[in-house]
Every structure is written in structure tokens, then in C-alpha cells.
Structure 1
Amino acid sequence: MAVAKQNQVDISNEESFRLVLSFLKAHLPDSLRLWQLLDYVQRGFITKEHIWPCKLFVDDQNQMKCIVLVYSSFAFTIDHHLLDENKETSKRYVSFFCHQNNDHILMTLLEQCISWNQIKTIMFLNNDYRFSTMIESIVREKKLGDLNVFPGCQMEISRERLEMTKMKIVQQTPSDIIIRRLSVADATLINDLWAYKSMYSLGVIRHEIEHLPAFGAYYNEQIRST
């Protein structure tokens, strides 16, 4: 069994950063969330200050199988100076991608590269349920810190059920309100109305409108709710 050894990637090093992005791009759409975030950093839509302090790790710089990004809050306030003063011990977000059949390498990498006992809250984003249970197990077994799990729920809804739900909503909606699918053109307005807007959030909204069933309530052709 291969043993993972953490290798930190300097985001300021263009060549090293490009290799990480190339690996993630080669595994789209499974790597979409992490690739999109790092792609926005490379293109300057998100600055390094927005995700500071941040650390990017790979298991092997020559033959990548797993990538882990540990970063701070970003875009949650227009003035980033108002973020938690003690950034070194505040909440941290963890986003990762693991090539298939390499879960054991990912778990070792997570254990090594996260300061488990020095950070107040660690949030793992956009991972499959199997990773959630594996992470919970490794934290308990290795006593990496106090563990309070707040799971999220993910559901699969059939197209038929979605259409039935839409019909029920329409029946209870005033006649001057129209319920219809959102268009990509609505993304900018939705993002502008959000207090935590950024170029990254705009990209996420556009992607979700394009790929997920997304509806809005319109009055006089103006969107009122989503």
C-alpha cells in the first residue's frame, strides 16, 4: 500500500500551480468544485488574500492522486479586514479531490496537512458521503480533536417528483406571479442581491443554473425569489 507524504504547493509558483490545475482539469467534472476555485485564483477573480491563510497539498508532485486545499473564509464580507482577527485559529474550510481507488492516500494526507488541534472549526466541503464517514472515523480513532459532526443532507429527486412539486407551487401562487426555470442571465442579479457575492459565487450560481433544476418567481418579468 502506498504511503502518502504531504507536499505543499506554493500557489505563487506558476508552474507548480499549473500542474495542479492541469491534473484537476483532466478529471472534470468530478473535480469541478476544487478546479473552479483554484482556476479563479489563477485568473485573479479571487486573490490569495481572500483565502488567506491557505495551504495547498498534493500527495506526489510527479504523480498526483490527491489534492487538498485548506483555506480560510473568503467573500463572506465585502471588507475582508473584518474577518476573524485571529485567523490562525479560526474556522478553516477543506476542499479536496481524490482520484478513484486512492481513498487511503487521501485520509493519510488529511491527517498530515490539517492542524487538527489548533483550529476551532473545520468544514469539509462538497465531498461524497463515504468520505464523511471515513473522516469521522479517523478523527475518533487517532484522537485528532474534539468532534462534533453536523452532517448535511443530499437527496436525489426524480424529474417527475420535481414537476409535481412545481405544479403544487404554481397552484398556490397568485396569478400575476410566474414560476419558471432560471436562465443564466439571472445569475448576475441573484449574485448582486447576495451579501457574500464574489466572482466565485457568480460562477457557482451560473453553473448550478445550467446543470441543476433551478426555478424562480417572476413578477412583471422581474425575478422576485429563487
Structure 2
Amino acid sequence: MTLGTAASVRIAGETDDRNIDRYELASARRALRLIKGNLGDRLHALVGAEIAVGNAFFRDHVRRSGGEQVTGTLTIEARGLTAAAFSAWMIRAFTREDVLIAAQPEHYLMDMADPRGPHIVETLGEHVVGFRMGGWDESEVPGGTDRRHSLLTLDDDGTVVGSVSTSFREADHGMTAELSVTLPATSAPEAVEQHLQHFSVEFRSWMLLAAAETGEGSR
């Protein structure tokens, strides 16, 4: 072995460690599903101190930004799944707390039954934040695609901290999803970039599950 060569590990006969990564990801998902399922609402209480810090952090950025915001957008593609099928599946999925919690490791609370609006606790940037999603404002965009837009308000004092928007479009390969997040300008670009990464994980989880449950992926 040459001195200075970086260490690596792989299964004998394979060219890299991608399969080990897959196995680790599957194990991590099983572990989180078990832990989150057993903790239930207690998980929210466990991160209460972190939520207070995170909400204060973004409230300060709202003040410092003076109304200026920054938006980041991510486009992801799904094969073997139509936009129509996914949109219909998502409407049903938003009544299934287990599906919503499991989609992203940093989903700590996804209470869609709250009469004041969906109550979510997740990570924004480097902070755990509690917020409520407003009702989806729907508008038509070119190509006949419905874009849905929702304001995010901090759950402790109602400060508008930003917004998210989604649009799903049919494509030859299946569908594309355009996902956007808007946050106070002084918290960008780190928080915006982190949440685009967050989007990629949760929407891939939902799209793969939608394809499996609708049978579209097997056609």
C-alpha cells in the first residue's frame, strides 16, 4: 500500500461501496421509523428547547432582512410516475402522519389535523424550527400546470418566515416537480440550500412510495 492512500472499504468483487451505502440507508430508515413511531408526540417535546432557539434565530433574520427575501428552486424528475397520479396520491398522503414523518429524517412533527393549519417541526438550515403552513394558494402557470404556494409562519408568535411552492408537470419520462423555498435574505444561501436538499429527500421518498402504491412504477 502506498503511504498517503485514502482508506476505502467495499464488498469483495464490487468496484465501490455504493451497495454498502444503500444498506446503511435502508437500516437508518428502519431505525428512524421504529424510534419515531414509538416516541410519537413525545418526539416534539424532546426537541422543544431546540425549537425555541431555531424560531428565535429566524425571527431575528426576518427583522434583519427588512422584508427582503431569497428564493431557491430545485427541479426533480420521476420516471414511471405521472404528475396526475402523484398529485392525487399526495392529497391522500397528507392525511397519513406515518408517511409524512417517514419521508425525511429531520421531520419531527407533521400534524396535518391541527385546525390552525398543518403544524410542522423540521430543520431549516442548521436549526430546528416549528411552523404552520397556510392554505395552498393555487394559480395556473404556463403549460396548464397548477402551482401551489403556501406561507410559513412560526408556531410561537405567527411571524411570517417565508413560503414554499410546488408545481408538478407531466413529462415524456413521467413527471417533473419544481420545488421552491423562500426565506429571509440574511439567512440565505445556507438555509435555502439546505432546504432544497431537504426537498430532494422527502419528495423522492414520496414519489417512490406513490409509484409503488398506485402501481404506476410497474407499468
TM range (shorter): under 0.3
Bigger strand share: 2
- Relative contact order (C-alpha < 8 Å, sep 6+): which is higher? 2
Q: TM-score, normalised by structure 1?
A: 0.25
Based on CA coordinates, which of the two structures has the bigger radius of gyration?
A: 1
